[in-house]
Amino acid sequence: MTQPEKPVATRLSLSQRPRRNRKSDWARRLVRETTLDASDLIWPLFVIEGEGRRDAIASMPGVFRYSIDQATQAVAQAAALGLPAVALFPNIDPGLRDEAARAALDPDNLVCRACRAIKASVPDIGLITDVALDPYTSHGHDGLLVGEEIVNDATVAVLTRQAVIQAQAGADVIAPSDMMDGRIGAIRAALDAEGFENVQIMSYAAKYASAFYGPFRDAIGTNKTLKGDKRTYQMDPANTDEALREVALDLEQGADMVMVKPGMPYLDIVRRVADAFHAPTFAYQVSGEYAMLTAAAQNGWLDGERAMMESLLAFKRAGAAGVLTYFAVQAAEILRRE
């Protein structure tokens, strides 16, 4: 066999060598365009009745449903790590779910009690509550079901009341995730009329009918009850201009912040929304995204920490002001260490 010839290197005459700016850690830090900070992260957490409970969620390893006492402790820890806000999602007793979502309007429901407890012991963290009916309906939909239809305007009337009750319980930010038309304006008017003009609205403005919500439905217990799908109110994953129209409407109606959901598969939408409106734009890295990354890491197929931090940075690079992520506490711990 003949020996392969050794290639002869000639020095290329290049005026630009982009690798120069990558040659060392300090050089990379010097030219870095995007940074990630604990202040960019919002932690969604699940609450459940009882005491001393931290129930594991099988499809979301490392995520728990907390009874109010445990949630309060967990939120105190989140505040100490510098997280600016948490978002509460209740797992309501199945016996309290009905067609009319009555428990959503009970000022002593799980979420309202959790708000009061958290506000009393961790006053300096932002408290975001979810406005939608899915945790409270027997059919698992975000709105009222009449025949086969999720009825818009009657649902908005309930959501408006739900928002006021949450504000009364101490919520700092109302986050409607239901995708009914006109709910932002109706909620803004009701909050103002009740003296809550300083309560913010973070609108789930472009929320897609996505397969990536599966583990969340395990967490709040709607996977088994949900009848049909949510395609008559959540957006078609094929659409992008429509997201801009949805965001425009919510901003006109009084949204202070807007959200795109899911996150990673929709970074193009985040970028378009951020560029078009220059309004605080958030992304929700949803349960299915968390589950994928965590499962791959647990199998040793991904470096979990690096993949997590890279995914969070990607939201910032796409133009997001911040990210709702189940990784918030883990990521904040890493950021503190660095």
Ligand X SMILES: NCC(=O)CCC(=O)O
Nearer to ligand X, 273 or 323 (CB): 323
Q: Which does residue 130 touch among ligand X, Mg ion, none (CB within 5 to 8 A, set by kind)?
A: ligand X
- Tell me if residue 261 is catalytic: yes
Nearer to ligand X, 76 or 226 (CB): 226
Q: What stretches of 177-280 adopt beta strand conformation (E)? A: 200-207, 257-261
Q: Tell me the closest approach of the beta carbon of residue 111 to ligand X, in angstroms.
A: 13
Q: Tell me the closest approach of the beta carbon of residue 192 to Mg ion, in angstroms.
A: 20
Query: What is residue 61's three-state secondary structure?
Result: coil
Query: Is the Cα dihedral 218, 223, 229, 230 positive or negative?
Result: negative
CA dist 265 and 263 (Å) reads: 6
Q: Cis omega (within 30 of 0) on the bond before 265?
A: no
Distance, CA of 239 to chain centre: 20
Q: Tell me the closest approach of the beta carbon of residue 128 to ligand X, in angstroms.
A: 11
Q: Report in angstroms the alpha-carbon separations of 220 from 39, 60, 126, 151, 323.
A: 26, 12, 22, 23, 21
CB atoms within 10 A of CB 253: 18
- Tell me if residue 224 is catalytic: no
Q: Tell me the closest approach of the beta carbon of residue 251 to ligand X, in angstroms.
A: 20
Rule CB under 6 A: is residue 216 a binding residue for ligand X? yes
Amino acid 336 reads R
Q: Which of residues 79-138 bind ligand X (CB under 6 A)?
A: 130, 132
Contacting residues for 107 by C-beta, under 8 A, at least 6 apart? 165, 168, 169
Rule CB under 5 A: is residue 246 a binding residue for Mg ion? yes
Contacts with Mg ion: how many residues (CB under 5 A)? 1
Asked whether the beta carbons of 306 and 246 are under 8 A apart, the reply is: no
Rule CB under 5 A: is residue 134 a binding residue for Mg ion? no
Q: Tell me the closest approach of the beta carbon of residue 177 to ligand X, in angstroms.
A: 4
Two structure tokens written together for 71 = 């949630």
Rule CB under 5 A: is residue 178 a binding residue for Mg ion? no
| Helix-strand-coil split of the chain, %, nearest 5 | 45, 20, 40
Two structure tokens written together for 244 = 């801009």
Q: Tell me the closest approach of the beta carbon of residue 196 to ligand X, in angstroms.
A: 21
Distance, CA of 41 to chain centre: 10
Q: Which does residue 43 touch among Mg ion, ligand X, none (CB within 5 to 8 A, set by kind)?
A: none
Rule CB under 6 A: is residue 179 a binding residue for ligand X? no
CB atoms within 10 A of CB 297: 18
Rule CB under 6 A: is residue 294 a binding residue for ligand X? no
Stretch that binds Mg ion, among 125-133, 223-231, 243-251, 265-273 (CB under 5 A): 243-251
Nearer to ligand X, 196 or 216 (CB): 216
Q: Which of residues 128-167 bind ligand X (CB under 6 A)?
A: 130, 132
Q: Which residue from 59, 67, 137, 177 is in contact with ligand X, where contact means CB under 6 A?
A: 177
Nearer to ligand X, 28 or 175 (CB): 175
Nearer to Mg ion, 218 or 246 (CB): 246
Nearer to Mg ion, 74 or 179 (CB): 179
Beta-bridge partners for 88: 45, 129
Residues found near ligand X in the complex (CB under 6 A): 130, 132, 177, 213, 216, 286-288
Tell me which residues are annotated as active site: 207, 261
Residues found near Mg ion in the complex (CB under 5 A): 246
